[in-house]
Amino acid sequence: MKLRPWNSLKINECNEPLISIPKSIFRITPHPYMSLGAPYLTGADPWVLRRSVLKRLVCAQQHLSEINPQLQLALFDAWRPISVQNFMFNYTIKEICKSKGIDINDLSLNEGINDVIAEVGRFWAKPSSDPLTPPPHSTGAAVDLTLADMNGKPLDLGGEIDFIGPESSPDFYKNDSLKMPYSKHHIFQDRRSLLFSVMEHAGFVQHPNEWWHFSYGDQLWSWLSKKGDSIYGAAFEVSNDITLSEPSLVT
């Protein structure tokens, strides 16, 4: 699988700790990947982020409240151990193969399986343990989120989080929105634009293929913002504790 353009960028690990996300930031529960049996260590908390990332997330929530007090951010996922990234990467490949009628164990279908892997790879980062190419969520720098009302009901933004397909592109509905100002597509684009604006205001960048994915301080952020080297490498779990990668592992 080809590396993404941002994977070649330097990481200057700052060794910020992972901090628990306060419950004042609404989260979608039960946690979607835990529900699928993803291999989190016993007691591991997926609702953590690097300290500066969390501060910016709180700022984004405050900014949204100022713009529209009837809405709140709704977290879908935050920190993701590499073991979980690997589980979800493979789970998604299997599910898409199943939906396409591809027998993943049939070696004669290698070409079709490779096409699925390439398709999944546009959305799911390779579950690499290479300290030079950490998956964004494994750094504690990335969040997947949407908008919800104050009762905790997620709004419809025209596509499910983690959906593999063109509808997941942030601007998928932009052209239709301009042509049909009173359509559902216009509503979807307005909501996506609102989410982008509050996250950008707080310093986040958006994944080019995923309307729900935002990050600060990782390689994607460095590539899109052009504000210097990334400052977060992978954050690993040890036993029931969460610790950061050793500085010597990251260049």
For 36-57, how does the pLDDT look when each residue is reduced to its tens digit (9 = 90+)? 999 998 778 899 999 999 999 9
Whether the predicted pLDDT of 180 surpasses 90: no
Does the pLDDT at position 108 exceed 60?
yes
Q: Is position 210 annotated as part of the catalytic site?
A: yes
* Domain residue ranges in the chain: 5-151+195-249
Task: Say how many CA atoms lie within 13 Å of 11 toward its Cβ.
Answer: 31
Band (pLDDT 50/70/90 cuts) for residue 182 is confident
| Six token digits for residue 71 | 């809405």
CATH class of 5-151+195-249: alpha beta
> Among 13, 16, 210, 237, which one carries the catalytic annotation?
210
Across the chain, mean pLDDT equals 89
Question: Position 53: which residue type?
Answer: V
Tell me which residue of 137, 136, 131 sits closest to 251, measured CA to CA.
131
CA-based end-to-end distance of the chain: 23
Look at 119 and 193; give whichever has higher pLDDT. 193
Mean pLDDT of the 232-248 span? 54
Predicted TM-score (pTM) of the model is 0.89
What pLDDT is stored for residue 121 in this prediction? 86
- 238 pLDDT tier (thresholds 50, 70, 90): very low
pLDDT score recorded for residue 243: 41
Q: How confident is the model at residue 129 (pLDDT cuts 50, 70, 90)?
A: confident
Report pLDDT for 248.
28
Report the SS3 class of residue 49: strand
Reduced to 3 states (helix: H, G, I; strand: E, B; else coil), residue 34 is: helix
Instruction: Answer whether residue 251 shows pLDDT above 70.
Output: no
Per-residue tokens: 132: 């030079």
Rounded to whole angstroms, the Cα distance separating 202 from 217 reads: 12
